[in-house]
Structure 1
Amino acid sequence: MQEQHAFPFLREILLFLALAGILIPLLQRLRINQVLGFLAVGALLGPFGLGRMAQDFAPLGLFTFPNNDNVAMLAELGVLFLMFMIGLELSAARLWAMRRWVFGTGSAQVVLCAALIGGAAYLLLDQRLDAALVLGLVLSLSSTAVVMQLLAESQRTASPLGQAAFAVLMLQDLAVVPILILIGALGNNDGGGSNVALIALLAMAKAAVAIALIYLVGGKVVHPLFRAFARHRQPDVFMALILLSTFGIAALSHLAGLSMALGALIAGLLLAETEFKHEVELMVEPFKGLLMGLFFMTVGMGMDALQVLHAPLWLACAVLGLVLLKGLVVAPLLRLGGLPWGRALEGALLLGQGGEFAFIVIGYATASKLLDGALGARVMLAVGLSLFITPLLARIGHAIGERSAAEPQGAAAHLADNELEAARGRVIIAGFGRVGQQLAKLLTAQGIPYVAFENDAKLVSQLHADGAPVFFGNAARPELLRRVHADEAPAIVLTMDHPASALQAVRGIRREFPDVQLYARSRDEKHARALKRAGANVVVPETLEASLQLSAFVLEGMGLDERMVDDIVDRERDAFAAALDDARSRERDERDV
């Protein structure tokens, strides 16, 4: 009697886990982008790589994936969790905080790139209107995973370019919802491309209904469910609820005639609007790299690298054309958003590749006969090749951005040569919002000179035109601080309101200028401890000062003497500073032990 395996695809699962266990730490050690590493390994060991040789050499089958059908289930699982994690990042508060970049620059980028790429597909590739629309929309998206990892590796996620790129990527991720619905609508259309506009409008209506259902389901079912069971504080129950939400909403989406991937995205969006968002992120975090690797490895298995030999010119033109078309759109949009031309060109090269959603959407499009299978395979290979050259494009773009930043760009943007000596010996203010401006006002009243840096180009232009010594730049950059002789500054004061930017600036300044007096504004006590650990001499939390001022008014209203109130407030302030110093000393002693 022939032996039956009770657990399907056991060999494929064990092989993937073994590869992931080796690859993830190896790629981190070699500083190779994990997305590209998993894509390359998938292409190498998949049915179009060494897997095709497994029939002739049986032992090779133990270490390869000769049959793509056997990993289809793993691929679907990877897609679902990738979409869920993307949805978890797209909270309404985060979108609203960056609304100008997200809905302004991001929307313009998707629409203009889709029009240019779709028009090229329609005119040059002789595609139907619906197929050209799909290609235009899907290729207008960039890779969130690759771009954000490159920015994180260079510690520039909090920079103006990093924030602009993140905002554009957020809009692209959000655009996946109507794109997936549009694919389903066009796939069920028997009328060809004649009524694409009507189908597109119908798809947008469905997208609006889907978004409304997010809040309906979240308010009526999922949120109360989490609130009822999460109070037991059992990790296994919490993980079960996460899986139930993801697969349950994905199943409902499938029953409604939409894709399961869209349902997983909606599940992530739904949980992003609850108070359990951060706990969900903590629970999913250990599996994040593994699930991302699963998705990209299965994508790599579907890439036939031999197509490069069969159509080298077509693929080269496709990759180059994609980067150029997107660059022609992205660079002017980033410049209009306030970035200097050098950084705008850097952003254009950074966002010029195709995105991971292309593999999902093109797969659906070929399955629904919207795209020819051979064309879909070539497009996916072109997207994969664009991902592989992204680190090189990012390095070229960074060189352009740094060179542009190092050259004087006019009074409103950078320090001119004749202003360098004037900046020697001044207090340096990093961030010139309301706190920075108030500090500058007090310094000026006391005759103390200062120089300030701010990332808001429009604000810098206005203030500089009025004669204020305010310049565009990121104070976390050592080369910029060296140009204003930060080693001779009596003090550097960080007033920026973005916690991550402040922490990055403290680390960079303390590393380059260990002896300078560094004062920092913090968001709260936790942020204050982080800044103190990073090397700030004095940290002033907003919440502490607000509470002390309010307490002083209350005590005076209760009849206490003003001098006594001042002594009480000073003692509380000194006690907090001492507690920060003690915590820093304890951490230093623990590290020494």
Structure 2
Amino acid sequence: RLWGMGARPALETALVLAPAGEFAFVVFATGMVEGIAPPALTSTVALSATLSIFSIPLLALLGQRLSRTKAPDRPTTPEGAAPPEQADGAVIVVGFGRVGRLIGELLKAHDQPFIALDTDAAAVAAGRRDGFDVFYGDAGRPEMLSHCGVQTTRALIVTMDAPGKVDEVVTAARALREDLILIARARDDQHAARLYALGVTDAVPETTEASLQLAENTLVDLGVPMGRVLVSIHEKREQFRRAFQAAMPAGGRSRTTRALRMSQINTAKLES
């Protein structure tokens, strides 16, 4: 509780951490070899540690039941942060942490309307205080995406750093709309390939982009002209993209191309 953990997670965590761990046996064996603890005491304590480890599932279940009887620490949804109904034409940014906020700032700087969704009440409250249209909601739920206007949005950007959750949102969004421009943050190359297989228009792997940025800065600092550096970085990025897209089934590749074309047509209609 001293580190700000709420009552319910603190209770569950305390119960699960209370038993011994596997490292206890290493400590006991070392103590006996070094003559710090007699063999009889070591055997007794090791038996106690073993029994306590077997009690972890029961203690976890007890913690869950006890936590359900306690009142929530704070509201899960910030006041006034309910998702909008049908934000026509606005880009949807899923996740408003460090990456999502940066994307939102750039969209705003270029006069591109957007709304953001996040399941972190603190992130939602902070974003709204700074003047962004951030709302509380789980974008992995198809009904939430429909409620926010996924059928008319110009693009959906998934910025979360949890690969499983990113996959969930991508799957839900693609099932609702085949012609959607769907851009997702990937953990690494393997995750990017999986996202292309799920139907994203573009996947941006963190490891690859970090390597490209390091290479760009290095070449510029070594005196290579900026124009040549940008061209080579762009070419390398396209090579990576083609390699990732090779993981997509043939139907997925044609669907992604069709999504890009249809979205460009819809964008032109909105602008006109």
Please indicate the TM-score interval, normalised by the length of the shorter structure. 0.7 to 0.9
Q: Deviations over 1:311-356 (max 9, x none)?
A: xxxxxxxxxxxx9976331xx2xx325524xxxxxxxxxxxxxxxx
Which residue identity lines up with residue 68 of structure 2 in the other structure?
G
Alignment of 1:37-116 (within 5 A): 105-108=8-11
> Is the 1:428–1:450 Cα contact (8 Å) retained in structure 2?
yes
Determine if the alignment matches structure 1 residue 452 to structure 2 residue 85.
Answer: no
Shift of 1:433: 0.7
> Is the 1:552–1:565 Cα contact (8 Å) retained in structure 2?
yes
Shift of 1:463: 2.2
Higher helix share: 1
Larger Rg belongs to: 1
Choose the corresponding residue for 1:339, options 63, 71, 76: 76
Q: Deviations over 1:370-415 (max 9, x none)?
A: xxxxxxxxxxxxxxxxxxxxxxxxxxxxxxxxxxxxxxx8413x13
1:173 aligns with 16
Mark the CA change 1:454 to 1:217 in structure 2 (over 3 Å): closer, same or farther.
farther
2: CA distance, partners of 1:215 / 1:437: 46
1:260 aligns with 50
Shift of 1:488: 0.6
Mark the CA change 1:565 to 1:257 in structure 2 (over 3 Å): closer, same or farther.
closer
2: CA distance, partners of 1:433 / 1:552: 26
1: CA distance, partners of 2:248 / 2:65: 50
2: CA distance, partners of 1:441 / 1:215: 51
Secondary structure of 1:486's aligned partner: coil
2: CA distance, partners of 1:553 / 1:466: 32
Shift of 1:481: 1.2
User: What is the percent sequence identity of the aligned residues?
Assistant: 30
Which residue identity lines up with residue 551 of structure 1 in the other structure?
A
Mark the CA change 1:324 to 1:107 in structure 2 (over 3 Å): closer, same or farther.
closer
Choose the corresponding residue for 1:328, options 69, 73, 90: 69
Shift of 1:513: 2.1
Alignment of 1:167-246 (within 5 A): 168=12, 171-175=14-18, 177=19, 213=24, 216=27
Shift of 1:473: 0.9
> Is the 1:253–1:262 Cα contact (8 Å) retained in structure 2?
no
How many residue pairs get matched? 235
> Is the 2:194–2:247 Cα contact (8 Å) retained in structure 1?
no
1: CA distance, partners of 2:249 / 2:46: 59
Higher strand share: 2
Shift of 1:499: 1.3
Choose the corresponding residue for 1:480, options 135, 138, 144: 144
Shift of 1:211: 8.1
> Is the 2:90–2:115 Cα contact (8 Å) retained in structure 1?
yes
Determine if the alignment matches structure 1 residue 570 to structure 2 residue 234.
Answer: yes
Choose the corresponding residue for 2:210, options 531, 535, 546: 546
2: CA distance, partners of 1:453 / 1:461: 11
2: CA distance, partners of 1:519 / 1:460: 21
2: CA distance, partners of 1:214 / 1:431: 42
Mark the CA change 1:171 to 1:511 in structure 2 (over 3 Å): closer, same or farther.
farther
1: CA distance, partners of 2:111 / 2:128: 19
Shift of 1:585: 3.4
Mark the CA change 1:217 to 1:453 in structure 2 (over 3 Å): closer, same or farther.
farther
Mark the CA change 1:258 to 1:579 in structure 2 (over 3 Å): closer, same or farther.
same
TM-score by length of 1: 0.36
1: CA distance, partners of 2:247 / 2:65: 52
Mark the CA change 1:559 to 1:514 in structure 2 (over 3 Å): closer, same or farther.
same
Shift of 1:582: 1.3
Determine if the alignment matches structure 1 residue 430 to structure 2 residue 99.
Answer: no
> Is the 1:426–1:449 Cα contact (8 Å) retained in structure 2?
yes
2:193 aligns with 529
Mark the CA change 1:541 to 1:104 in structure 2 (over 3 Å): closer, same or farther.
farther
Secondary structure of 1:584's aligned partner: coil
Q: Deviations over 1:471-493 (max 9, x none)?
A: 01111111111112111100000
Mark the CA change 1:578 to 1:211 in structure 2 (over 3 Å): closer, same or farther.
closer
1:411 aligns with 80
Choose the corresponding residue for 2:159, options 485, 495, 506: 495
Aligned-residue CA RMSD (Å): 3.4
Q: Give structure 1 regions of 4+ aligned residues with deviation exceeding 2 angstroms.
A: 103-108, 170-175, 210-218, 252-257, 259-266, 323-328, 337-340, 585-589
> Is the 1:253–1:259 Cα contact (8 Å) retained in structure 2?
no
1: CA distance, partners of 2:43 / 2:54: 9
Q: Deviations over 1:53-92 (max 9, x none)?
A: xxxxxxxxxxxxxxxxxxxxxxxxxxxxxxxxxxxxxxxx
2: CA distance, partners of 1:214 / 1:504: 40
